[in-house]
């Protein structure tokens, strides 16, 4: 991604809480529907625009390279690691996403 794109995401996250929530929600929906690559890409953008990988890594007790690698295009995070990251992102943003059945 270009620097302008990353800065646009960061600026929008900082000024629009609804966008922040929607971004994390979209990442989770992509993961749940099987589009893991897009879900990981959105999570990377979300992390870079919010706490950053350094802070997230400190909180979850991992080296910064670990979540960066997990969420890279070739990364293959375990379910435990992925849900640990998602749980922490929800906590730091003061939100709780819920799953609902849609038929």
pTM of the model: 0.86
The candidate with the shortest Cα–Cα distance to 65, out of 50, 51, 75, is: 75
Residue 102 inside a domain? The answer is no
Residue 50 inside a domain? The answer is yes
Residue 83 inside a domain? The answer is yes
46 lies in which domain range?
Answer: 3-93
pLDDT at residue 68 tops 80: yes
The candidate with the shortest Cα–Cα distance to 41, out of 27, 57, 24, is: 27
Band (3; pLDDT cuts 50, 70, 90)? low
pLDDT at residue 1 tops 60: no
Residue 101 inside a domain? The answer is no
Residue 103 inside a domain? The answer is no
pLDDT per residue over 10-63, tens digit each?
Answer: 888 889 889 999 999 999 999 999 999 999 999 999 999 998 999 999 999 999
Q: Specify the number of domains making up the chain.
A: 1
């Amino acid at each position: 991604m270009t620097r302008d794109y990353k800065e646009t995401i960061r600026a929008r996250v900082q000024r629009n809480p609804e966008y922040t929530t929607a971004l994390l929600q979209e990442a989770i929906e992509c993961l749940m529907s099987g589009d893991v690559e897009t879900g990981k890409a959105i999570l990377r953008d979300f992390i870079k625009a919010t706490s950053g990988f350094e802070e997230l890594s400190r909180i979850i007790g991992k080296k910064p390279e670990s979540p960066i690698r997990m969420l890279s295009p070739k990364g293959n995070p375990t379910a435990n690691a992925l849900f640990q990251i998602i749980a922490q992102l929800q906590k730091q943003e003061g939100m709780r996403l819920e799953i609902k059945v849609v038929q």
